[in-house]
Amino acid sequence: MKLLYSENPFQEKSAKMYYWDGATKYYTEPEEKTVHMIYEYFRDYSGEPLTCPLLVRGIFLPEHYDKRLKQNFFNLEIILSGTMYVRSGKILALAEPGDVVVMLPHEDHEFRPAGETVEKIGIILEGKLLDRLLEGIGISQSGVFSLSESDRLTRAVEDLREEMSVVAQNMVNADRLSAASFRILMVLESVMQRSAGHSLFEEMAGFIDQNIREYDLLNVLARHFHLSAYKIRKLFLAEQNLQPGKYIMKIRMQQAHKLLLKGHLPIKEVAAQCGYLNAMNFSTAFRRYYHVSPSCHRQRQD
């Protein structure tokens, strides 16, 4: 996913537009089709608390253009191949394979392929309880998201597809479809939270690398990111299965190992560059970690 700031890919007039005014009706086909469906499931379950009236997997040609004004449903798009320009809410971005596009109800959205054919899966959810469910689950932002666990979402989509097929063939109670639709929202929230946590950890890990000389690094980290010790601990355990203090110790020792390999720095200077106030405390920590003193470790490397 790449955020766009200067270019506006939606100013071009050559696209064949699908135009949804309030999204009270589904696609109005232009004279020349710009979508080839691999599969499409459509059911009318108006009045249900939550349901999936439309699930499609299609190939979108470069001239396709979709514009929606205040759509009245929730839409999820999973990009399988190709790249696609997306304006969703206030976000203008280029969606890439593996990205997930989230389009909330009551907002304007538009998208089109970025000069190449795009294959994607599209899901529409609607229902009397849709707004309350989105708020309760915590899905509150439209946009394009690069999710590290998007395969979990794809599996949930396949489960939903199977339920839609069963319901269509056997005309069974729509509760099964509601349950599968709800699972889509729950999996989406989970992978979005996981992805956000992973991104935050990457930022914090970079901060630690850049500030490894800080003696009180854990408190410096908490102040910089405005997080409590509890939240930092929870994040590090989830990402590294390590307490934050032990993670910082690991990075300090890795840095010490690299500096000792250079051979010319005094132990006192190595200690200072690794965040220790004196060489004795550093040597004790180093011996506990590597089971050898810093000076012997250097000699072994030589």
Q: Would you say residue 170 lies in a domain?
A: yes
pLDDT of residue 6: 63
Q: Calculate the alpha carbon distances from 74 to 24, 109, 124, 140, 282 in Å.
A: 13, 11, 6, 11, 56
Q: How many CB atoms lie within 10 A of CB 190?
A: 16
Catalogue the E-assigned strands of 61-152: 64-69, 74-81, 84-88, 91-95, 99-103, 109-113, 118-126, 143-146
What band does 137 get if pLDDT is binned at 50, 70 and 90? Answer: confident
CA distance 199 to 193: 10
Which strand (E) or helix (H) includes residue 167? helix 150-170
User: How many domains in the chain?
Assistant: 2
Tell me, yes or no, whether 142 and 255 share the same domain. Answer: no
Tell me, yes or no, whether 181 and 232 share the same domain. Answer: no
CA distance 232 to 208: 13
- Domain of 290, CATH number, reads 1.10.10.60
Tell me, yes or no, whether 19 and 131 share the same domain. Answer: yes
Tell me, yes or no, whether 183 and 222 share the same domain. Answer: no
Tell me, yes or no, whether 255 and 132 share the same domain. Answer: no
What band does 24 get if pLDDT is binned at 50, 70 and 90? Answer: very low
Closest CA to 209 of 257, 248, 242: 248
Proportion of the chain above pLDDT 90, given as a percent: 26
Tell me, yes or no, whether 258 and 223 share the same domain. Answer: yes
The three-class DSSP label of residue 25 is coil
Residue 265 and residue 257 in contact, taking contact as beta carbons nearer than 8 Å:
no
Strand partners, 78: 100, 121
Q: Taking 60 as the threshold, does the pLDDT of residue 43 lie above it? A: yes
Tell me, yes or no, whether 165 and 240 share the same domain. Answer: no
Tell me, yes or no, whether 22 and 151 share the same domain. Answer: yes
Q: Taking 50 as the threshold, does the pLDDT of residue 26 lie above it? A: no
From 168, 197, 226, the end of a domain falls on 197
Q: Which amino acid is at 241?
A: N
Average pLDDT over residues 12-25: 47
- What's the first-to-final CA gap in the chain, in angstroms? 46
Radius of gyration from C-alpha coordinates of the chain:
26
Tell me, yes or no, whether 192 and 219 share the same domain. Answer: no
Q: Would you say residue 84 lies in a domain?
A: yes
Report residue 24: phi and psi, to 5°.
Answer: -85, -10
259-292: pLDDT as tens digits? 988 878 899 999 999 999 999 999 999 999 999 9
- Mean pLDDT of the residues in the chain: 81
Q: Would you say residue 202 lies in a domain?
A: no
Strand partners, 110: 67, 87
Tell me, yes or no, whether 141 and 87 share the same domain. Answer: yes
Q: Would you say residue 205 lies in a domain?
A: no
pLDDT of residue 188: 84
Of residues 140 and 287, the one with the higher pLDDT is 287
Q: Would you say residue 204 lies in a domain?
A: no
Tell me, yes or no, whether 222 and 92 share the same domain. Answer: no
Closest CA to 105 of 131, 76, 78, 143: 131
pLDDT of residue 256: 93
What band does 153 get if pLDDT is binned at 50, 70 and 90? Answer: confident
pLDDT of residue 11: 66
Given phi > 0 = left and psi -120 to 50 = alpha, else beta, which region is 267?
alpha
Indicate the length of the chain as a whole number: 302
55-78: pLDDT as tens digits? 888 888 888 888 887 888 899 898
From 197, 226, 254, the end of a domain falls on 197
pTM for this one? 0.62
Of residues 46 and 179, the one with the higher pLDDT is 179
Which strand (E) or helix (H) includes residue 244? helix 244-262
CA distance 133 to 52: 14
Q: How many CB atoms lie within 10 A of CB 242?
A: 14
Closest CA to 252 of 232, 227, 282: 282
Of residues 120 and 91, the one with the higher pLDDT is 120
Tell me, yes or no, whether 55 and 132 share the same domain. Answer: yes
Q: Would you say residue 203 lies in a domain?
A: no
**Domain housing 152:** 2-197
Residue 253 and residue 286 in contact, taking contact as beta carbons nearer than 8 Å:
yes
- What's the token pair of residue 272? 């200072």
- Domain of 125, CATH number, reads 2.60.120.280
